[in-house]
Amino acid sequence: MRITLTRPDDWHLHLRDGAAMRAVLPDTARRFGRAIVMPNLKPPVRTVAEAAAYRDRILAAVPEGLAFEALMTLYLTDNTSAQEVAKARSSGFVHAVKYYPAGATTNADFGVTAVEKAWPAIAAMEEQGLPLLVHGESTDPGVDVFDREAVFIDRVLVPLLDRFPRLKLVLEHITTRQGIDFVRAMPANVAGTLTAHHLLYNRNAMFKGGIRPHYYCLPVLKRESHRQALLEAAVSVDAKFFLGTDSAPHAQSAKECACGCAGIYTAHAGIELYAEAFESAGALDRLEAFASFHGPDFYGLPRNTTRVTLVREDWTPPDALDFGDGQRLVPLRAGEAIPWRLAH
């Protein structure tokens, strides 16, 4: 069996920088036409000038013969100015601003300490129609790790959208039924991305036979009833939901240790894993809308015109991939079969 679809885009991707970026970029560029590139480098990408330089480094690493576009983002801080937002909007290559609550996740130390501090930038974004991409997790240490998304929605997102009702907002990597319900209840300026790993796995995966660091990401995997709510939303052909892998590579040594980093690498099978999830719901015919139409429609960009073909044929990713500078990267499903393969 084969399926052909309009080339998909990845609306949430971590590419890192330097040799690591050069090692992982081909996986994405082979599958996706465009990707929204996360700004959480060390130090983060906070200005249009920094985004331009990072974009140049990425484009220089795109393998010959592939047409890949890097859609850049800025990292929102307490000090992001309305002027920088206006500059981003007119740049033509910065397509969104990323909101990490300070300390919420990897390289989030420069993030927003209190949302009020970012109001001037957010007001400018609402005005200019530049989307705010949200890592939606409460950083209140008293909140249980599995409740952080739901609490953030109630405490931060609902009031934020009351204040800025026309703000284009994407709740990134939704992991709970509450996240799905929130996006559905809001008007068309609010959307959400879904990762393949949250569609395929529940939190048991992290503990199967022992502690499994390669299933650890943030927001953390949730219980099965949440996974089912996400899958149901993904296949529902609701334009508010679209593909964002959140592929987040870390060196094997940084994952397999006493305090392992959050992040799951999926770009090596970035569309294939979604095909597996959609097939499990008997909804392969709805993959194209989710993967290739809803994202560009929300961002006001044209849909891709080239196509990709997937073949229903098992293949097995290697135990580890090259991650540059002598480092190794363990991909999701290392040493285990994936039922869909990209046709060349």
Of these partners, Zn ion, ligand DOR, none, which one is at the site of residue 40 (CB under 5 to 8 Å by kind)?
ligand DOR
Where does 67-222 have alpha helices with state H?
82-91, 119-128, 148-152, 158-163, 177-185, 196-200
Identity of the residue, 108 or 160, whose beta carbon is nearer to Zn ion in the bound complex: 108
What is the distance between the alpha carbons of residues 173 and 193, in angstroms, rounded to a whole number? 5
Closer to Zn ion by Cβ: residue 124 or 273 = 273
What track of x and - describes contact with ligand DOR for positions 124 through 153 (by CB under 6 A)? -----------x------------------
**Rounded distance between C-alpha atoms, residue 35 and residue 101, angstroms:** 22
105 near ligand DOR (CB under 6 A): yes
- Asked if 246 interacts with Zn ion (CB under 5 A), we say yes
**Minimum distance from residue 247 beta carbon to ligand DOR (Å):** 9
Q: Which of the choices ligand DOR, Zn ion, none does residue 176 contact, using the CB cut-off of 5 to 8 A by kind?
A: none
To ligand DOR, the closest distance from the beta carbon of 3 in angstroms equals 29
- Among the listed residues 275, 199, 245, 205, the one whose alpha carbon sits nearest the alpha carbon of residue 4: 275
Token readout for 257 is 């240790």
Which one of ligand DOR, Zn ion, none interacts with residue 217, CB within 5 to 8 A by kind?
A: ligand DOR
Reduced to 3 states, what is the DSSP secondary structure of residue 72? Answer: strand
Using the minimum distance from each CB to ligand DOR, give the nearer residue, 106 or 245.
106
**Is residue 176 at the binding interface for ligand DOR, with CB under 6 A as the rule?**
no
Helix, coil or strand: residue 264: strand
- Site mask for ligand DOR (CB under 6 A), range 225-264, x = bound: -----------------------x-------------xx-
Closest distance to ligand DOR from the beta carbon of 192 (Å): 15
Cis peptide before 43 (omega within 30 of 0): yes
User: Catalytic site residues?
Assistant: 246
Residue choice 36, 218, 235, 277 for contact with ligand DOR (CB under 6 A)? 218
Closest alpha carbon to 87 in 44, 116, 58, 46? 46
Give how far the C-alpha of residue 272 lies from the chain's centroid of Cα atoms, to the nearest Å.
16
Q: Do residues 167 and 137 make contact, with C-beta atoms less than 8 angstroms apart?
A: no
Examine residue 222 and tell whether it contacts ligand DOR (CB under 6 A). no
Cα–Cα nearest to 139, from 109, 179, 104, 171:
104
Comparing CB distances to ligand DOR, the nearer of 14 and 31 is 14
Least distance CB 132 / Zn ion (angstroms): 15
Residue 261 corresponds to which amino acid?
C
Nearer to Zn ion, 246 or 272 (CB): 246
β partners of residue 241: 192
Minimal distance, residue 151 CB to ligand DOR, in Å:
17
Nearest distance from residue 218's CB to ligand DOR, in Å? 4
Q: Are 179 and 192 in contact (CB under 8 A)?
A: yes
Q: Which residue in 54, 13, 55 sits closest to 32, CA to CA?
A: 13
Residues that bind ligand DOR (CB under 6 A): 14, 40, 105-106, 135, 217-218, 248, 262-263
